[in-house]
Amino acid sequence: MKLAEALLLRADYQKRMSKLRFRLVRSAQVQEGDKPAQDPKELLAELEQVATDLERLIQNINRTNSVSELGESGTLTDALATPDLLRPKQDIYSELASHATETPGRVSRSEIKFQSTVDVAAIQKQADDLAVAHRELDTRIQEANWHLELKE
């Protein structure tokens, strides 16, 4: 199984657990004399099986990520940490450039005039460069996901 397939399967298991939770809660209580639409014992057994399968799958995904090299980014695990930094940094640079270019409306010449304290073009270029780096890394990670075999 390819790593990308395992990631899709993980998402399916997570959705299934969420649906099982909903079904369990709905069948947890019924009016006296009625039967639940689904047997909670069967639902709990299914939940336990899905949780076990999901745990094993996550362990295999983590194992694969930790031993698979992704060039100069190190292991896939190392590379996966980078977007968690790139996106917030990009957002901060973009917000800084945006706020530095805002010009509050002035009604008369006697009102306070504001000026930027940063080089807006340089800050915006940095934000754009971070966006490109994020996109390129994401592409490399996705490509690796479709080429790597899941380690067991």
Cα–Cα distances in Å, from 65 out to 61, 76, 79, 149?
6, 5, 9, 10
Based on the number of CB atoms within 10 Å of its own CB, is 93 exposed (0-12), middle (13-18) or buried (19 or more)? buried
User: What is the reported pLDDT for 39?
Assistant: 94
User: What is the reported pLDDT for 107?
Assistant: 66
User: What is the reported pLDDT for 112?
Assistant: 76
pLDDT, tens digit only, all 152 positions of the chain: 999 999 999 999 999 999 999 999 999 998 899 999 999 999 999 999 999 999 999 999 999 999 999 988 899 999 999 999 999 999 999 999 999 988 776 666 667 778 889 999 999 999 999 999 999 999 999 999 999 999 99
d(CA 114, CA 104): 8
| Nearest-10 crossing angle of helices 120-147, 83-101 | 160
In 3D space, the residue among 79, 72, 73 whose CA is nearest the CA of residue 3 turns out to be: 79
User: What is the reported pLDDT for 114?
Assistant: 80
pTM of the complete model: 0.81
